[in-house]
Amino acid sequence: MTNLAQWLSQHAVDQKLASVVASMAAASVEIDQVLRRAPITGQIGVVGRTNIQGEAQKALDVISNDVVLKHLQDNPEVSILVSEELDEAVHFGTNGPYLVATDPLDGSSNLDVNVTVGTIFSVLDAAGGLLQKGSAQLAAGYAAYGPATNLVLTFGQDVTVFTLDLDGDWVLSKEGLRIAPASEEYAINTARERFWDAATKGYVAENVAGESGPAGKRYNMRWVGSMVADIHRILMRGGIFMYPLDSETMSKGGRLRLLYEANPMALLVTAAGGGATTGRQKILDLQPNDIHQRVPVILGSAEEVARVEAWYERG
Ligand code: AHM
Ligand code: MG
């Protein structure tokens, strides 16, 4: 069995960068332990505050953010932290070469029902400043807290999966993960259909038509409502995840956030051979203009993403 520390040293990952990934992995172990006991400790529910996105913060959002903050503050290689739960970027006052952008606990509306949630992170060169394109990411990953807790990691080339052992060790479980190019599964919040644009409507209608429509095959729909859980399923067995720009999210630019949701997931999916687009532009090529900027997100199996892009080209 190979653990994360051994894997990082075997793959000659720069030691400073490896330490940042190790800090996020250690924070995720701690968050995992908090989540597993939350119904006992009573750490469920909202804290009565909203974050800068105007969303109610859950107790576990705040706790998870504090855990990540503590681990990164203790790592001299990190000088800047951007978090979904913090209005402003935090400058640690060190010369650490790295910036970390994170959603400490994504999918937190699922917490009270014990559904998989996750910690998403992106590592960038701090010298490049706060607003860097996703293509500049040096590493990205997420921890998915489910029946098993997984750490899914990329340095831009390959995707590697680790599983949390009972003694708190991340054990290597899969290397060279590839997303199946073809799939019969799509994930989108269909309750938003009335807000959709023509491309989204057209693509989903083809899928719903199944074998009797132009797609020529039957589809299934799966939507957890927790991005980490949906993307994890797609990385494991193919599919497409869509949170497109629609008439309701238009004024905000989309639903999901570029720096700590879309970009790290786009790097992972792309490194696994999939596609990641807004519909009109590659997510990794977007120039951010705000640390909490929102964007449309369409990612997953290459053939499905190409079909959606073709719909956008038509319109
Ligand atoms: P969060 O960061 O506040 O948890 O929001 C992100 C979540 C994603 O995990 C999920 O894909 C999406 O928002 C669900 O949105 P909706 O409730 O509109 O289906
Ligand atoms: Mg989130």
- pLDDT tier for residue 48 given thresholds of 50, 70 and 90: low
Please give the pLDDT value at position 219.
Answer: 98
246 lines ligand 1 (CB under 6 A): no
- Ligand 1 centroid to 132 CA: how many Å? 23
What 3-state class would DSSP assign to 142? strand
Domain assignment of residue 271, yes or no: yes
Contact 75, 89 (CB under 8 A): no
- Ligand 1 centroid to 300 CA: how many Å? 17
Q: What percent of the chain has pLDDT over 90?
A: 90
Which among 234, 265, 229, 296 is positioned nearest to 134, based on CA atoms? 265
* DSSP-assigned letter for residue 248: T
- Nearest ligand, measured from the Cα of 117: 1
Q: CA-CA-CA-CA torsion for 157, 76, 62, 289, nearest 10 degrees? A: -60
| Residue to probe by mutation, ligand 1, list 47, 112, 255, 261, most atoms within 8 Å of CB | 255
Domain assignment of residue 124, yes or no: yes
Chain segment 2-19, per-residue pLDDT in tens: 999 999 999 988 999 999
- Ligand 2 centroid to 200 CA: how many Å? 22
- Ligand 1 centroid to 226 CA: how many Å? 6
- Nearest ligand, measured from the Cα of 230: 1
The average pLDDT across 53-62 equals 79
Residue 298 CA to residue 210 CA, distance in Å, equals 20
**Based on C-alpha coordinates, what's the Rg of the chain?**
19
- Ligand 1 centroid to 164 CA: how many Å? 25
Please give the pLDDT value at position 47.
Answer: 66
Together in a domain, 59 and 107? yes
The average pLDDT across 32-54 equals 81
Mean of per-residue pLDDT scores for the chain: 95
Please give the pLDDT value at position 55.
Answer: 72
pLDDT at 141 over 80: yes
Together in a domain, 88 and 201? no
- pLDDT tier for residue 46 given thresholds of 50, 70 and 90: low
Instruction: Say if strands 240-243 and 185-188 run parallel, antiparallel, or are unpaired.
Output: parallel
The residue segments making up the domain with residue 30 are 4-174
Domain assignment of residue 236, yes or no: yes
Please give the pLDDT value at position 17.
Answer: 98
- pLDDT tier for residue 168 given thresholds of 50, 70 and 90: very high
Q: 174, 202, 218 — which closes off a domain?
A: 174
Any idea what the CATH number is for the domain that residue 200 is in? 3.40.190.80
Q: What percent of the chain has pLDDT over 70?
A: 98
Outline where the chain has alpha helix (H): 4-10, 15-41, 59-73, 198-209, 227-237, 263-271, 302-314
Report the domain count for the chain: 2
The average pLDDT across 247-269 equals 97
Chain segment 188-241, per-residue pLDDT in tens: 999 999 999 999 999 999 999 999 999 999 999 999 999 999 999 999 999 999
Domain assignment of residue 180, yes or no: no
Strand order across the 297-300 sheet: 220-221, 185-188, 240-243, 297-300, 275-277
pLDDT at 171 over 90: yes
Domain assignment of residue 301, yes or no: yes
CA atoms within a 13 Å half-sphere pointing along the CA-CB vector of 106: 29
pTM: 0.96
Name the residue at shortest CA distance from atom 14 of ligand 1: 225
Together in a domain, 71 and 212? no
Please give the pLDDT value at position 43.
Answer: 79
